Structure 1
Amino acid sequence: MLFWVVAASLTLVASLAVLLPLARRAEQEVDRSHDLEVYRDQLAEIDKDTARGVIAATDAEHARAEIARRILRLGTGNQPKTSSGSLTAAKIVGGIAVLAVPLVSWGAYTLSGSPDIPDQPLSARMADNPANSSVSDLIARAEAHLVANPSDGRGWDVLAPVYMRTGRVNDAVVAYGNAIKLLGTTATRQSGLGEAMTAAAGGIVTADARAAFDAAVQLEPANAKAHYFLGLSLAQEGKLAEAAAMWRQMVVDLPADSPWREAAEQAAARAVGPAAPSAGAGQAGPTDADIEAAASMSSGDRTAMIENMVSGLDEKLRQNPADPEGWLRLVRSYSVLGKKDLAQDAFDRGYAALGGDSDGGKKLSELAGTLGLKVTE
């Protein structure tokens, strides 16, 4: 019932907004017609006064000119006088046209509309079966709600992991930050924020991301996500032994069905060698065969093999410098080998090749900062 009362009120207001100007315009036309008759009578009086010699011919001419200007301002000097019947007919036709629109639309809505369906709050809409609503539709609804209600911490908390799953990592950083600010800090929110920051930095665990993971571990010492990324942070700093130890401990502590257990196991295996490809291989790190071979080698032979792999990557980048991921691997690899001068040189060359304003240049600068290298301004 309330819907129809509101709809009727809005329709009445809209109709009056159109009908009143029509009525005023008709009245103005009648008034203008009357004024024109008055001016014509004045012209006739001037002609009579001139003939009787009451006013001079020059004054009469000036008076006629002034009256003519007033007639022109009316804008009806050459228009026929509108009859009262014509004006009434025009008002009737206009009124019918204005009223027909809401009547027809109301009739159509009564047949096909559903005014009695109640509105759904954000939580209900977000909880709908995905088969009934697309993810993009749910995100759009949530975003519209948060624009109108930016202090709804629960809305930000729900939307943040959705942003992560859809690849909108920068939006996820904002959403997690707002949820923490409005609802308070939890291990889940802090680890989610750190993961979003890491993804936004191209896989580099930045100082801010590391701080978020540390906060998550303080709140929940067994938080698997935070431990995994803290291990990754150690590996990126060249502390492979410490990273491998952290990941192996995760393998021991986590249940067999935990997805982080498998990830930690694989990461610990990769920590045997640097995350650099063999010459021309085009992959992110050594193969399983490389790791197996390295495990059976002496310390000197293993170091020689690793240095050979890194040298191959360096040569490849000299020939094709437009490879942001390659420069990241090369700088990290030289740092792992303890060759800081070569890591600095690789950073300088990569930064010059990629450009400081490019995404690759920014990621390279971020990595250099975590490795203690001098960042070119």
Structure 2
Amino acid sequence: MIWIMVAALALAAFAVAVLAFRLPRVTWTSLAAALVFGLAGYTLQASPQLPGAPRANMAASYTDEWQMRDARVLLVGESLKSRSNAMVTSDAFAQRGQFTNAVGFADIAIRENPQDFEAWLALGNALVEQADGALTQPSLYAYRQASAIAPDNPAPSYFLGLSLIRQGRMLEAYQIWRGALERMGEGGPPAQAFMAERVARLESMLAQAGALPPAREAAADQGE
């Protein structure tokens, strides 16, 4: 039901802009694309079944809306899982929205083992949240370090793409996610299904908005 209400609000916003503010016809396509991108971001990120919470409640945003740790555990897999006790503490602080402390303990895990793939991911995620969702040079560096340790693992690309989506950079996120999915090959663990589902959703949204490159849009129309 909530999705119908959100779509109705988007249509109402379009109607008000066109009829009440008499926007020129040449701007209608841009306005429609902006509304579609907004709906795309909501669909990918929101949890409408959850009760409302203020923006200041970073812990609720981190654990319920974004489910960062759950996605990280799924994508990392057992073979690349961190063995550091500092990571347990880092996650605990992150779940409380205390991202500065989360960064500190992820850094401890990395200093213990510079090849700790999951610790680099946790550091990147905590740095993004510490910057209120913005990608920074330190967070990009953390994701790149994780990618260097395990080039075929999709987790760094997934979280980088998620950060781009939060900034409205949907096409960039799609390109990064699709590349990560292609590097995973055929078959595989639940992580591949997780990535494939998100790539398909984002591709469909971009196709509906007319924002895919021509070759990809044609493939999407053929149901690739």
Q: Same fold (TM over 0.5)?
A: no
Bucket of the pairwise TM-score, normalised by the shorter protein: 0.3 to 0.5
TM-score between the two structures when normalised by the length of structure 1: 0.28
Larger Rg: 1
Give the structure, 1 or 2, with the largest relative contact order (CA under 8 Å, sep 6 or more): 2
TM-score between the two structures when normalised by the length of structure 2: 0.45
